[in-house]
């Protein structure tokens, strides 16, 4: 997991100049989707791996009491500058941080899978402890089948920067690989490597953590033949799917 701080810090620095170009409407829709997926009133939220804090911020603007945990100092500094002051942003590691409170909702969007299976299970057990008895967690899980088929696809994450991103797949360990570099600095490459799990595999892992999956929500997929993106793809063909879990 040593790559995490360096990768996410550099990803942020690569994208920093273009973040203003992401329309707020996107984050509003994501926050709306989360409230629909929870499907009942909730007050308190814990977000793990909150990045720039945009979604946590939208939930705070909807009146939720939000605590956001993020590993990278530069990201938390950015979030503190731009996010609603009612939101609590903590720079810390979700594997070691001590939080006594329990929450109605825990979210971990786009990022589950940084360590090995043992680390994932440890985190799921921590998630169990952070949930109130009738709380829900929404967690995005990378789908191996999609990643296997996008091996070596290359793209520019935004037209506003000179950054290239290339996808890969580590078949032996079932991990998606996502390598970023600046066009003019080809020797400085940064890779994130996240474990992918099928719906069945994550179901078994959640069971071991005493968590029950109550719904699977497939996210989107990119068709690299036509360069078109669809918002919801079939469960075994999506980039990632979201699981809704509660205590067993
Ligand atoms: C792929 S990004 C997703 C960011 C955000 N959730 C989003 O959807 O835009 C994953 C985030 O998790 C953070 N992260 C990774 N490992 C972490 C850890 N052990 N503790 C806290 N945050 C971590 C990274 O720094 C990064 O900002």
Q: Where are the domains of the chain?
A: 3-142+197-220+238-247
Tell me phi and psi for residue 120, to 5 degrees: -60, -45
Q: From CA 145, how far away is CA 68, in angstroms rounded? A: 31
Identify the residue whose C-alpha is closest to ligand 1 atom 20. 93
Distances (CA, A) of 229 to 218, 232, 233: 14, 9, 9
pLDDT digits (tens, 9 = 90+) for 187-223: 999 999 999 999 999 999 999 999 999 999 999 999 9
In this predicted structure, what is the pLDDT of residue 69?
A: 98
Class of 3-142+197-220+238-247 per CATH? alpha beta
For a substitution probing ligand 1, which of 9, 16, 51 has the most ligand atoms within 8 Å of its CB?
51
Q: From CA 51, how far away is CA 111, in angstroms rounded? A: 10
% of the chain exceeding 70 in pLDDT? 99
79 backbone φψ class: left, alpha, beta (φ>0; ψ -120 to 50): alpha
Task: Compute the mean pLDDT over every residue in the chain, rounded to the nearest whole number.
Answer: 95
How many angstroms does the Cα of residue 226 sit away from the middle of ligand 1? 30
In this predicted structure, what is the pLDDT of residue 151?
A: 80
Atom number, ligand 1, closest to the C-alpha of residue 95 = 19
How many angstroms does the Cα of residue 139 sit away from the middle of ligand 1? 12
How many angstroms does the Cα of residue 150 sit away from the middle of ligand 1? 22
pTM > 0.85: yes or no: yes
Atom number, ligand 1, closest to the C-alpha of residue 94 = 20
Tell me which residues have their CB closer than 6 angstroms to ligand 1.
4, 8, 49-51, 69-72, 75, 93-95, 109-111, 114
């Amino acid at each position: 997991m040593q790559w995490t701080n360096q990768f996410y810090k550099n990803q942020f620095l690569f994208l920093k100049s273009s973040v203003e170009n992401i329309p707020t409407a996107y984050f509003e829709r994501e926050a709306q989707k989360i409230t629909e997926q929870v499907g009942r009133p909730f007050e308190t939220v814990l977000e793990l791996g909150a990045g720039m804090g945009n979604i946590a911020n939208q939930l705070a603007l909807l009146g939720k009491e939000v605590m956001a945990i993020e590993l990278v100092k530069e990201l938390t500094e950015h979030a503190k500058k731009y996010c609603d002051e009612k939101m609590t942003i903590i720079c810390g590691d979700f594997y070691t941080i001590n939080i006594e409170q329990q929450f109605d909702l825990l979210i971990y969007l786009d990022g589950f899978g940084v360590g090995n299976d043992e680390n994932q299970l440890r985190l799921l057990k921590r998630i169990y402890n952070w949930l109130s008895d009738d709380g829900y967690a929404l967690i995005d899980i990378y789908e191996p089948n999609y990643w296997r088929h996008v091996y070596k696809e290359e793209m520019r994450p935004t037209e506003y920067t000179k950054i290239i991103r290339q996808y890969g797949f580590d078949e032996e360990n079932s991990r998606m690989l996502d390598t970023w570099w600046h066009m003019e600095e080809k020797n400085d490459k940064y890779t994130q490597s996240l474990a992918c799990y099928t719906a069945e595999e994550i179901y078994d892992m959640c069971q071991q953590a005493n968590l029950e999956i109550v719904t699977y929500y497939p996210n989107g997929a990119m068709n690299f033949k036509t360069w078109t993106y669809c918002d919801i793809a079939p469960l075994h063909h999506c980039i990632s799917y979201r699981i809704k879990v509660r205590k067993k």
